[in-house]
Amino acid sequence: MNIKTVVVTGGAGNIAYSLVFRISEIYGKEQKIHLKLVDIDSNLEKLRGVQMELEDCFFPWLEKISCYGNCKEGFKDADIVLLVGAKPRGPGMERKDLLKDNGKIFKEQAGFLEPKEDLKVLVVGNPCNTNALMIKRYSKISSKSVMAMTMLDELRGRTHLRKKGLESSKVKVYGNHSPTMVVVPHGIDDIESITNTFMPVVQKRGAEIINARGASSAASAANAIINHMIHWLEGNTYFSAATYDRNDDIFFSTYIRGNDIDSIPVKRAFDEYKDIPEIVNKLKITKEELLKERNEIEGL
């Protein structure tokens, strides 16, 4: 069996620590994996600590583990690249400043991605939609090889429905991974309840977690990464993810299949809800936010 190479950036961070011990779930435990952890030079000693813990687990699927302080070597021969690492938003920092700081980071990373058949790059570091745009613009890989993650929002929505006794196999996430996201559960026709109750719960969940534990989501984000990649590799199941829209030059989340990624997710979303003005108005807001973010990173 050939060895798959999986790269995780921000390898010394909290999300990565919750993720790397479960990496085998993406391919299945029979698949041998070369796991490459990438972080800034000052975190290399922490990476070594993670490496030692992984080695001590004696996982049969872990063929090799390598640690890097640069993307040039870290991204080489990758089959999957999970772009988890990003600068966090600090106190008093405006979103546009975070966009510019992380835009520079992701622009640099984009230059080291090697075009390869079946390469899959998942952008997790926020603001993930616009960071994904930087990867698309400044790399040589296909736009269909890049997605931004909104699976965590889908899972949060499904969790809320389950707690209310309203189990649903489908929760569709549209637009930006931000408080403007549009979240629509399948099989519930009460639009007022969706827009005024259900949607705000999902939109505010990340902030709730930060307030409760003093840190952003880590284990749940790692779980969403694994779920996203399983769906993407499987190809035939539907899930929420942000893909590139060729008309508006943004990454816009819709409900897709991994082997059926179109290049007009914005049109798909608006066409689906054209008869529901409450949803259309919210789609317009999240689209405008993404266009604004796109404009703010011009010139980087």
Catalytic residue numbers, as ranges: 177
Tokens representing 102? 């992380």
What interhelical angle do 128-138 and 277-296 show, nearest 10?
A: 50
Q: What is the DSSP letter of 143?
A: G
State the burial class of residue 44 (Cβ atoms within 10 Å of its Cβ: 0-12, 13-18, 19+): middle
Identify whether the C-beta of residue 11 lies closer than 8 Å to the C-beta of residue 50. yes
**What b-and-e string marks burial along 277-292, b requiring 16 or more CB atoms within 10 Å of the CB?**
eebeebbeebbebbee
In angstroms, how far is CA 299 from the centroid of its own chain? 24
| DSSP β-bridge partners for residue 239 | 256
> HSE (CB half, 13 Å, CA atoms) of 111?
7
| CA–CA distance, 251 with 245 (Å, rounded to integer) | 6
Range list of H helices, the chain: 14-19, 24-27, 44-57, 71-74, 95-110, 128-138, 151-163, 191-193, 199-213, 219-234, 265-272, 277-296
| CA–CA distance, 260 with 116 (Å, rounded to integer) | 19
Tokens representing 181? 């996201």
Identify whether the C-beta of residue 153 lies closer than 8 Å to the C-beta of residue 179. no
| CA–CA distance, 15 with 277 (Å, rounded to integer) | 38
